[in-house]
Structure formats: C-alpha cells, structure tokens
Structure 1
Amino acid sequence: MKLKLTPTQNLCVGYLESGFELIQQDDQYFFIKGQRRQKVLPKTLNALVSRGALAHTEQGDYKLSDEFIEHRKRMQSPSKTKPTHH
C-alpha cells in the first residue's frame, strides 16, 4: 500500500471517515451527507484504490479498505511512540 496521498485524496478519505456516503449518479460520483454534496472525479477514486486506501466491493461500491483503516488507527494511536512493557 502506498501511503502517500495527495491533498485531494486525503480530503476524500476525510469525507468517508466523517460519515459521508459515496454515491454514483450516471457517470458522476458524489459524497453525500444530509444536504451537503461534493463531487469527486472517478480518477481520484481509482487512484485511491490503486494506493490501497479504498476497496471496490463486488456490489460496485467504494469503501475505506480494512488495511487503510488499520493504518489510520496505528498512526493515531498515542502508544506508537511509547514502548510497551509486559
């Protein structure tokens, strides 16, 4: 997984992490949450899939990949800098 994302790709991940739903209307994609709507280009979604951040489901939906979610948890965990003692 390539972890380096562009600002636009990070924005898309942020939309998904904050509860936006990704929908397709005709040949266009949008992030939708309540009355808010933000267009996203298919090439951005494809780049996120190729970098491992998004998974494309059998139903044709996009979602954050399990691997990416785990990576985000590791990056946000305060224990990553503290040694663990058993």
Structure 2
Amino acid sequence: MKLKLTPTQNLCVGFLETGFELIQVDDQFFFVKGDRKQKVLPKTLDALVNRGALQTTQEGTYELSDEFKEYRQQMRSTEEVKHIRH
C-alpha cells in the first residue's frame, strides 16, 4: 500500500471517515450526506483503490479498506503520543 495521498485523495478519505456515502449516478460519483453533495472523479477513486485506501465490495460499492483503517488508527495513536510528550 502506498500511504502518501494527494490532497484530493485525502479529502475523499475524509468524506468517507465522516459519514458521507459514495453514490453513483450514471457515470458520475458523488459523496452525499444529508443535503450536501460533492462530485468525485472516477480516476480519483481508482487511484485510492490502487494505493490500498479503498476497496470495492461484492455489491460494487467503495469502502475504506481494513488495512487503511488500521493505518489511520496507528497514525492517530502516534500523533496523540507526540502531543503528550510536548
């Protein structure tokens, strides 16, 4: 897994982490939560899959991969330790 993400890829991960649902309408993808809607390009989703951050489910939807969730949890724990030490 390539862990370094672009700002756009990080934004997409943030949408998923904060409860946005990723939906497809025709050939376009959107993050949706309530009345908020943000378009995302298929190539961005493909890049996130290639980097190991997203995986596709059997239903064909996208979700954060278990490996990526573990990585994010480790990063948060490391950041908490850094804040405590300073």
Question: So what's the TM-score if we normalise by structure 1?
Answer: 0.90
Structure 2 stretches lacking a partner, 5+ long:
none
Structure 1 stretches lacking a partner, 5+ long:
none
Q: Stretches of 4+ moved more than 2 A in 1?
A: none
Partner of 2:48: 48
Question: What is the root-mean-square deviation in Å for CA atoms of aligned residues?
Answer: 1.6
Structure with higher helix content? 2
Distance 1:9 1:75 in 2: 17
SS at 2:58 equivalent: coil
Alignment of 1:27 onto 2:27: yes
Distance 2:71 2:6 in 1: 17
**Residues 1-86 of structure 1: matches in 2 within 5 Å?**
1-77=1-77, 78-79=80-81
1:58 is displaced (CA, Å) by 1.3
Give the count of matched residue pairs.
82
Percent identity over paired residues:
72
Distance 2:33 2:52 in 1: 24
SS at 1:37 equivalent: strand
Indicate the structure (1 or 2) with the bigger Cα radius of gyration. 1
SS at 1:15 equivalent: helix
